């Protein structure tokens, strides 16, 4: 991914979502050629010259100070995750060696044991580029049998956009899809030279019009906590809270756990789902000796948009 292009498009997209009245500027009623604030208005709010801001929006982020970035972030009304993303886009990209980029992420045996011990709690571990690298039985019963999937499909973005079951599972699907794209773009800002991430984005762009639309919006979302509404094919509707935890020792992994309010209908549905999962032959997480699949360009070695995704 070209970092200058990313910086330019991100700033343009954030400026386009603001109206003069949103930031206390008068709107004289003149017709605007483009949506959102003009460059000179944004520059005025940030306290920099229009020429300086224009150069930054053209992708020239070299040597910009933290104070100026903070001023621009305030003018654009950026949230914390968006501000961090802007900072990364203006700094030299972190370069990984070929060996580091191809390194297989692993879940520590003790962490997998913890997942397995969480019998009443659906849980899974995400690695780089939203790869699902660990899970427990109830997590697989709730979201999908990860162990039965080919490794290249064991990815939350692939699941949400290319697995037809996901559109029925997440309610509303659009919200889940936007969250996933926002997290994926945050990962792209952290590691723009990741070839597997580029391959994944290429595949999703070719096969999903919804992904292309959401990716072009440059939304940013960090992993966090909240509530998800699900419609499961076995136990029906569930309202579950989720928490995202970062295990010690690997900042590129997160553990996501779902739970239901005690005594709720969803809590009873989770118990029913656990009983159902105990009788099903769900695939167990495989050994960590498996190598990652070869990286191929999105246009090679993959199905065409007209072929069935799964």
Q: Is the pLDDT assigned to residue 302 strictly greater than 70? A: no
Condensed to tens digits (0 to 9), the pLDDT of residues 194-211 reads 899 999 999 999 999 999
Query: How far apart, in whole angstroms, are the C-alpha atoms of residue 11 and residue 60?
Result: 12
Condensed to tens digits (0 to 9), the pLDDT of residues 136-174 reads 999 999 999 999 999 889 999 999 999 999 999 999 999
Question: Which tokens sit at 55?
Answer: 């150069």
> Domain end: 89, 111, 138, which one?
89
Q: What is the dihedral of CA 10, 13, 15, 19, to 10 degrees?
A: -160
What number of other Cβ atoms are within 10 A of residue 43's Cβ?
Answer: 21
CATH number of domain containing 31: 1.10.260.40
Q: Is the pLDDT assigned to residue 241 strictly greater than 90? A: yes
My answer on whether 124 and 73 are in the same domain is no
Q: Which pLDDT score is estimated for 94?
A: 64
Assigned domain for 308 exists: no
Average pLDDT over residues 295-301: 40
Helix (H, G, I), strand (E, B) or coil at 303: coil
Crossing angle (nearest 10°) for helices 39-46 and 50-57: 110
Condensed to tens digits (0 to 9), the pLDDT of residues 168-190 reads 999 999 999 999 999 999 998 88
Give the global pTM: 0.82
My answer on whether 121 and 39 are in the same domain is no
CATH number of domain containing 236: 3.30.450.180
Q: Which pLDDT score is estimated for 30?
A: 64
The range of the structural domain enclosing residue 16 comes to: 3-89
My answer on whether 263 and 218 are in the same domain is yes
- List the alpha helices (DSSP H) in 280-306: none
Q: Which pLDDT score is estimated for 280?
A: 79
My answer on whether 62 and 110 are in the same domain is no
Query: How far apart, in whole angstroms, are the C-alpha atoms of residue 77 and residue 72?
Result: 8
Q: Is the pLDDT assigned to residue 127 strictly greater than 50? A: yes
> Domain end: 23, 58, 89, which one?
89
Question: Which tokens sit at 188?
Answer: 């792209």
Structurally, how many domains does the chain consist of? 2
- Indicate the average pLDDT of the chain: 86
> Domain end: 35, 60, 89, which one?
89
């Amino acid at each position: 991914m070209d970092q200058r292009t990313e910086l330019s498009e991100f700033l343009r997209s954030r400026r386009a979502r603001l109206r003069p009245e949103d930031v206390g500027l008068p709107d004289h009623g003149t017709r605007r050629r483009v949506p959102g604030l003009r460059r000179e208005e944004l520059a005025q709010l940030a306290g920099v010259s229009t020429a300086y801001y224009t150069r930054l929006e053209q992708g020239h982020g070299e040597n910009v100070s933290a104070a100026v970035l903070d001023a621009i972030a305030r003018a654009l009304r950026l949230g914390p995750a968006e501000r961090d993303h802007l900072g990364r886009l203006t700094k030299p990209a972190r370069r990984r060696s070929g060996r580091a980029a191809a390194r297989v992420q692993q879940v520590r045996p003790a962490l997998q044991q913890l997942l397995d011990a969480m019998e009443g709690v659906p849980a899974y571990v995400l690695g780089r580029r939203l790869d699902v690298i660990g899970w427990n039985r109830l997590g697989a019963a709730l979201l999908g049998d990860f162990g039965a999937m080919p490794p290249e499909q064991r990815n939350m973005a692939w699941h949400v956009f290319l697995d037809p079951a996901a559109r029925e599972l997440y309610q509303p699907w659009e919200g889940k899809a936007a969250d996933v794209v926002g997290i994926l773009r945050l990962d792209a800002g952290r590691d723009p030279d990741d070839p597997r991430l580029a391959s994944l984005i290429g595949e999703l762009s070719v096969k999903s019009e919804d992904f292309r639309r959401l990716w072009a919006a440059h939304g940013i979302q960090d992993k966090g906590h909240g509530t998800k509404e699900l419609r499961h094919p076995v136990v029906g509707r569930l309202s579950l809270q989720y928490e995202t935890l970062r295990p010690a020792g690997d900042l590129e992994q997160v553990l996501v756990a779902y739970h239901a309010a005690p005594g709720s209908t969803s809590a009873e549905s989770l118990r029913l789902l656990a009983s159902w999962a105990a009788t099903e032959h769900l695939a167990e997480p495989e050994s960590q000796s498996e190598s990652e699949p070869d990286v191929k360009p999105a246009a090679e070695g993959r199905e065409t948009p007209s072929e069935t995704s799964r």
